[in-house]
């Protein structure tokens, strides 16, 4: 995702840079069997006792949804009388009001296959915009890209998309919808987005073709 700076979109580099290569090994032999075993537990209820047992293992990190942090902060800023701002939580953008003197904030969406390149820009106000993609955290083994957005049905990276960009009232909803649509792929992901009130977006499929939820959003895009 890109954010606005001086009314010109510039890249925002993620904390974890993309790795175009292998993470110290040349084969994933032996990894598929434990992944297949773990998929048995996708969607399963976890009791408090089981959760406490997991936490006693002292995991190295806890992963949370950065978009969920935007809305409480937006509410505090608005309560304090702030009428114009952008909150950026790891590329998940929550836009408050319009840019002073400009009317809109110009937001750029990163091209999933052109480092530093723009896929499109949008002039926006009072919304959230989030992109989920396979290009920020990934590695390649034997010519196959392994990224961080996993299909819960297989335990392996979802394969139908390069990126999904979603606009929604809150960053939390935009983030959740973008990830879900990425896993669903364009054939199911676009109808999924269209059926959610106040949500719109576009999907770049595995072949680089762009699929839009609506023509109005496509006409807004500067490319």
Residue 194 confidence (pLDDT) above 90: yes
Q: What is the pLDDT of residues 76-107, one digit of tens each?
A: 888 888 889 998 887 889 999 998 888 899 99
pLDDT at 50 over 70: no
pLDDT at 20 over 50: no
Closest CA to 194 of 211, 209, 170: 211
DSSP state of 222: B
The whole-number pLDDT of residue 17 equals: 33
- Show the domains of the chain with their CATH numbers: 2-17+29-37+47-220 (3.10.520.10)
For 129-146, write each residue's pLDDT tens digit. Answer: 999 988 877 677 667 777
Q: pLDDT exceeding 70 applies to what percent of the chain?
A: 67
Nearest in space to 152 (alpha carbons), one of 8, 13, 43 = 43
Structure tokens at 54: 């997991």
Q: Please give the Cα distance from 1 to 201 (Å, whole number).
A: 14
pLDDT digits (tens, 9 = 90+) for 117-176: 999 999 999 999 999 988 877 677 667 777 778 887 877 888 999 999 999 999 999 999
Two structure tokens written together for 214: 């609506």
- Please count the other Cβ atoms lying within 10 Å of the Cβ belonging to residue 61: 5
């Amino acid at each position: 995702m890109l954010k606005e700076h001086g009314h010109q979109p510039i890249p925002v580099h993620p904390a974890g840079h993309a790795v175009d290569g292998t993470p110290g090994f040349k084969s994933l032999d032996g990894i598929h069997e434990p992944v297949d075993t773990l998929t048995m537990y996708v969607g399963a209820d976890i009791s408090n006792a089981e959760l406490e047992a997991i936490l006693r293992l002292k995991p190295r990190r806890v992963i949370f949804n950065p978009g969920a942090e935007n809305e409480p902060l937006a509410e505090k800023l608005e309560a304090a009388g702030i009428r114009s701002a952008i909150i950026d939580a790891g590329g998940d953008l929550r836009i408050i009001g319009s840019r002073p003197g400009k009317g809109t904030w110009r937001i750029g969406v990163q091209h999933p296959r052109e480092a530093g390149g723009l896929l499109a820009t949008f002039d926006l106000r009072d919304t959230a915009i989030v992109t989920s993609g396979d290009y920020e955290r990934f590695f390649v083994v034997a010519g196959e890209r392994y990224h961080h957005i996993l299909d819960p049905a297989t335990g392996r990276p979802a394969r139908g998309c390069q990126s999904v960009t979603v606009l929604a009232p809150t960053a939390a909803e935009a983030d959740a919808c973008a990830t879900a649509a990425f896993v669903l792929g364009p054939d199911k992901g676009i109808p999924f987005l269209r059926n959610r009130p106040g949500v719109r977006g576009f999907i770049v499929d595995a072949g680089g073709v762009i699929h839009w939820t609506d023509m109005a959003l496509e006409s807004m895009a500067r490319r």
